[in-house]
Amino acid sequence: MSIIVETLDLGGDGPRVMVKDTIDVAGSATRASSPALQDAPLADQHAEVVRLLLKAGARLTGKVGLHELAFGTTGINHHTGTAANPRFPGRIPGGSSSGSAAAVAMGLADFSLGTDTGGSVRVPAACCGVFGFKPTFGRVSRVGVMPTHTSLDCVGPFAASLPMLVRAMSMIDPTFVPAQVPGSVRIGVLRVTAEAAIQKVLHATLAASGLALGNVELQHFGAAYDAGMAVINRETFAACGHLLETGKVGADIAGRLAAAGQTSDAALAEAELVRERFTAEVDQALASFDVLALPTLPDFPLRLEDAADTRAVLGMTSLVRPFNLSGHPALSIPLGSEAGLPVGLQLVAAKGADEKLLAIAERLLLNVQRGEV
């Protein structure tokens, strides 16, 4: 059960940090946990986020594994091994940033970095019971991060606490200035399809927060999921399709990657129209509410033995993928449940309002904690 794929010791005496093996570290090969990249050359310079971490005094202690080529949601990897879910044994760690979430859940890192193209930070954060944040698209540098070209992917941090997540953002984004906890907050509760037990936890938490609540329905939410799939398929095939020629891509990923190559120009054009409509719809909702709230996952994390077919479990991303398409910042907050399984509360804010989103999350959690005392 592999979490760390390469041990490192770089930087100062600040927080211990591990990074997903799609992020370049000078002197190390970026292999994306794929046998097709086993002979990848050593990176000649750090990714910009790594440079910023080291400049801020972080201690980089390792690179961690992932769902092969960052093209899957479960975290299962038959090449490097699947990272164990430390807090919920026998359950999937989530993907694709499985090692990044598991490292924090196990206490191997104070925070870690993953990437989120279709939920790949928020899904494993929810599965492993930690915080995971997808910043506004384009806000955190992706220079030196695989893939080079994307309209969806964001580098984002995992942490076991919200203050550490805020510290991580301060280190990887020079423009990030932590915000004051706002005095009044209005939350739009998004109507979505999810397991009743998860909805129960979510609504109880929001009610206990004492914050003003209202209902929101996004007409293009389902279409945005489908459009996000079309875009990720086209962009991932453009970045990794050539690796199929090696014959070394894992069978589950090879099949999905080959299918991704069939994404038509017409499907991509339609996806871009949906992106425009859905983004405008979310922006409009956020003109009335400070944040939108919904579950991170529609169901509890699967057992490992029930998650073998990558394509069959893509529905795990039904509630996260739309916000990759629109580019809005989104946070997954870990909650518990009567079943003893993890639930993620997802909060979404206006583009560029990353600081405000994290401050609202702090206010919400403080209110809930006070109510429990």
Does the annotation mark 209 as catalytic?
Answer: no
Tell me how crowded residue 255 is: count the other CB atoms within 10 A of its CB. 14
Helix (H) / strand (E) element for 348: namely strand 343-348
Of 153, 207, 166, nearest to 325 by C-alpha is 153
How does DSSP assign 28-86, residue by residue? SB--TT-GGGTTPPBPSS--HHHHHHHHTT-EEEEEE--SGGG--SS---TTT-PPP-S
pLDDT reading at 57 higher than 70: yes
Q: What is the mean pLDDT of residues 48-69?
A: 98
Label residue 181 by pLDDT band (50, 70, 90): confident
Is residue 195 classed as helix, strand or coil in its secondary structure?
Answer: coil
* Contact in structure between 70 and 96 (CB atoms under 8 Å): yes
Does the annotation mark 96 as catalytic?
Answer: yes
Select which of 34, 96, 100, 326 is catalytic.
96
* Contact in structure between 284 and 104 (CB atoms under 8 Å): no
Question: Would you say the C-alpha torsion 319, 320, 322, 327 has a positive or negative sign?
Answer: positive
Question: Would you say the C-alpha torsion 163, 168, 169, 174 has a positive or negative sign?
Answer: positive
pLDDT reading at 3 higher than 90: yes
pLDDT reading at 31 higher than 80: yes
Taking the model in full, what pTM does it have? 0.97
Select which of 20, 63, 134, 351 is catalytic.
20
Domain that holds residue 232: 4-372
Label residue 331 by pLDDT band (50, 70, 90): very high
pLDDT reading at 130 higher than 90: yes
pLDDT reading at 370 higher than 90: no
CATH number assigned to the domain comprising residue 100: 3.90.1300.10
Alpha-carbon distance of 167 to 5, in angstroms, equals: 25
Alpha-carbon distance of 182 to 12, in angstroms, equals: 34
Select which of 28, 98, 120, 332 is catalytic.
120
Label residue 338 by pLDDT band (50, 70, 90): very high
* pLDDT given at position 314: 76
* pLDDT given at position 372: 60
Number of domains, the chain: 1
* Contact in structure between 296 and 344 (CB atoms under 8 Å): yes
* pLDDT given at position 309: 74
pLDDT reading at 1 higher than 60: no
List C-alpha distances in Å: 134 to 137, 155, 295, 344, 347: 8, 7, 15, 14, 10
pLDDT reading at 43 higher than 60: yes
* pLDDT given at position 373: 38
* pLDDT given at position 312: 66
Does the annotation mark 20 as catalytic?
Answer: yes
Q: What is the DSSP letter of 147?
A: S
Alpha-carbon distance of 41 to 171, in angstroms, equals: 28
Q: What is the mean pLDDT of residues 278-287?
A: 98
Sequence letter at residue 122: R
Q: What's the full length of the chain, in residues?
A: 373
